[in-house]
Structure 1
Amino acid sequence: MTTASHLSAQSTQPAQLAATRDPAKRSWLAAANDAACDFPIQNLPFGIFSDPLNDAPRAGVAIGDAIVDLAALQAAGLLSVAGDADVFSRPALNAFIALGRDEWRSVRVQLSALLDAECPTLREHAALRARVLVPMRDATMHLPVDIPGYTDFYSSKEHATNVGSMFRDPKNALLPNWSEMPIGYNGRASSVVVTGTPVRRPMGQLKLPDAERPIYGACRKLDIELETGFIIGRGNALGEPVACDEAEDHIFGMVLLNDWSARDIQQWEYVPLGPFNAKTFATTISAWVVTLDALEPFRVSQPEQSPEPLAYLRHEGRHAFDISLEVTLRPEGVDKPTTICRTNFKYMYWTMAQQLAHHTVSGCNTRVGDLMGSGTISGPTPDSFGSLLELTWNGARPLSIEGGGTRTFIVDGDELALAGWCQGAGYRVGFGACVGKILPASAGKGGA
């Protein structure tokens, strides 16, 4: 049987890596060649899954409508990693990610070769295919990484301008520091959940407009925030900042991210230190991590930045990505969802590299698996705003939805779904689902 040991990290060449992104490349899995499939052979995103025949969470790669069981593939002698490390049978990708970028690329090249239409190794061996391929429909997806820390940024100029215009003077919508650095705050890693996990409406303090004191109750202005997130692939030591030009070397890949937001709780609590309970109750991410190597063909120039950033935030070249993004809302009992937003990641003012450079400039250390949220991604037109707060202008402009009725903010039973993809010539590199359904609040033992 042919093994993949000759494609070890030491021998992976730029030409081999570039070949994995060839738009003409096709797989022997027919579903992967569908132009509308999120997971063609050019993508090969990583995730953690289990299935009815093996309930142990383990590493896999999405291809077409199937998952390649990386642990089974390694056991069959068809996948090589440094030192034959047992990294694919773990319930998180962290151990594999920690092997480093050379190993990520080696595994990508090996998988691309095995799944290529011209390679008979798996194509012609039904018993072997049965061991290493799992139908997606039978799989349960888990959080792809163990997340030591979570940071959320505020990096869309359109979003920040909309929010500033809504709640402050429209002529001075952006605070002076916004154009000088990527604004962010430390979020709550423990409440990051994988797509499909129901989200319970949060309880908290609400300050009604004419009331002297706050009340305790369920959030009345529950919202989404359409975001992406990136996963740290190489940490930095405490006291050693990451240079902006080197920051992308520290990024393993990207996910879709919905940073659910309780706008009324936030409005009361955020002065003077920012969001707290309004954000901590849940953040949903997609199950598949799309690597920067898969996204490379879709790299574009970031928006012009004025004033020119300080030296530690400068980088040469193109650092944005052309990722189309959509949000749909489906009320309970309604079959057809309503698309409420269409936007693009390329609009983001501050890049991922700048976010990471700023995050670490103080000497803050990062760790493998850390999650960094982009902040709400809004575009230049009203239908491209990445939150209901903006789409309905804080409830003043209700949205019409399929099945009748309108929405200003999310009601119980609503299902919100994020989608994202890069469009290639006859193929797309997609992120898969990022879905959450809202359950009613649980009053618990809160005060009256």
Structure 2
Amino acid sequence: MSQGFDEPVNRRDRNATRWRAVEQATSEDGEPVIPLWIADMEFRTAPVVLEAMQEALTHGIIGYQEWSADFPQLFCRWQADRHHWAISPEWILPCQSVIGALDVIFHTLTQPGDEIIEFSPGFGAFGRVIRQSQRQQVTVPLKENGAEYILDPATLEACITPRSRMLILCNPHNPLGKIWGQDELRQIIAICQRHNLLLLSDDVHQDLHIQGAPYTSITSLSDAIADNAITFTSPCKTFNFSGLPVTNMVIKNPGIRERLRAGLVQRSIHKPDALGMIACEAAYRDGAPWLDALCQYLHGNVLFLQQALHQHTSVRLFNVQGSYLGWLDFRSSGLSQSMLEARLIKKAGVLLESGTQFGDRGEGFMRLNFALPRAELAQAISRIQHSFGHKNA
């Protein structure tokens, strides 16, 4: 059954953040700039989610909302069925957003000046909230290995000091689209245990398995690490309702869980809004068939992207296993980052997310969101081919 992924949806006049960024932007040829930067999809939100929210709106009152009585079991069943991850209902701690929860975690479980470790290139918001919390950001470079990045355990261990308190993992990794393999996850577990690091695993793209080995929750590999870890999950990226932030943390350790519950309540970010809760439950209850179709479509998009770039440009796409984000290597162009960004907008007429938003190891790279109808993706990639083809490299 078609899910309408090929159907274009015009968001230009909807105050969408993606499109607001290019509202007045045109290429040198006068063509409107195509935005492929921010991490939401150009597909309609999953129908089961829209139907559930429409029913709530039709009812006529959007008041204070509680989770359904069976939501904990619903969430646990989703994790077990999709990811073979066995969790207990009491481990679930809902909140609004990952970034808001990180702020609570840093202020509750660490002291100013403590070190928080993350991998680079990595999601820029992690570093921002670390610095704003007056903690020390420590970045560990991942190692390029062909068309992927891998962990260098020795490099990670060398970055750990007596002030190190936490390690942030992103699985699948943003911006790389890397799903961490079990061997690497076990190496991370061993290092965290050896240095008593609390592990924070941002797994909000967990459901978006595109190709290769499937996602594994790191806490499913070790009871010991599960007792010293916080995992972040969310249906928002999966079912395309990022404008209604919903996060469900999984925290086995009751001491950590209750301290964070109190911190979330203190900041009034312990509960998503009513429509977010309704959307979340509908997604996990009935959204699996739509998600299966989405992942199949995204797989087709990434295959198209790989072939188009490989055959007609010198731009290199790193392997994408999870999420709808591609990490593009433009270093062969010889352009500085500012010149690269300008050429993409002015010559190609596309807006990508700058690699430097993901740390200093992002120089020469750009992140591309390929979650859009294939015909629209083809138009954007054709522009990149024209501006970065072999004759222009």
TM-score of the two chains, using structure 2 as the length reference: 0.28
The structure having more radius of gyration, on CA atoms, is 1
Higher relative contact order (CA 8 A, sep 6+): 2
| TM-score of the two chains, using structure 1 as the length reference | 0.26
